[in-house]
């Protein structure tokens, strides 16, 4: 994932207003794409509505219906996880991420982006 825009980084740090929808969507999509690149597969579906969802993690593949392993969260929480501003454990404890299924823990691949904005 490329360096986060200043507007998104400031927003995640609580120092700015929510960035434009298109910019937020791009950051979510790029970070989810990076997760899918790091851990190819189709065992877990990570959803960040309304912007994107990816399948990742090697293992048994589902072919129809809702996958057995699902992670779902909002854009801000996802970007905080992806940049290391929030831990997986804290996000679960605070109810900011819903994870179901025995393989739904993606914490081993987080953060995806260094909090200084470079590549992980």
pLDDT tens digit string along 49-68? 999 999 999 987 767 777 78
Asked if residue 114 belongs to a domain, the reply is no
Domain membership flag for residue 120: no
- CA dist 79 and 84 (Å) reads 8
Number of domains in the chain: 1
In this prediction the pTM is: 0.89
CATH code at position 103: 3.30.1050.40
Q: What 3-state class would DSSP assign to 97? A: strand
Q: Does 28 reside within a domain?
A: yes
Q: Is residue 115 part of a domain?
A: no
- Asked, for residue 67, whether it belongs to a domain, the answer is yes
Which residue has tokens 């404890």?
A: 93
Which residues constitute the domain of residue 97?
Answer: 6-109
Instruction: Look at residue 73 and tell me if it is in a domain.
Output: yes
Looking at the domain assignment, is residue 102 inside a domain?
yes
Mean pLDDT value of segment 71-82: 97
- 117 part of a folded domain: no
DSSP notation for 28-81: HHHHHHHHHHHS-SSSEEEEETTTEEEEESSSPPP-SSS-SEEEEE-HHHHHHH
Mean pLDDT of 7-19: 91
Q: How far apart are CA 8 and CA 25, in angstroms?
A: 11
């Amino acid at each position: 994932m490329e360096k986060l825009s200043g507007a998104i980084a400031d927003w995640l740090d609580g120092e700015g207003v929510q960035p434009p929808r298109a910019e937020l969507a791009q950051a979510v999509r790029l970070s989810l794409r990076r997760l899918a690149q790091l851990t190819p597969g189709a065992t877990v579906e990570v959803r960040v509505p309304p912007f994107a969802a990816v399948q990742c993690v090697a293992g048994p593949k589902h072919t129809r219906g809702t996958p057995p392993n699902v992670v779902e969260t909002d854009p801000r929480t996802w970007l905080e996880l992806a940049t290391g501003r929030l831990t997986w454990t804290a996000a679960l404890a605070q109810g900011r991420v819903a994870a179901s299924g025995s393989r739904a823990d993606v914490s081993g691949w987080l953060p995806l982006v260094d909090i200084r904005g470079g590549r992980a």
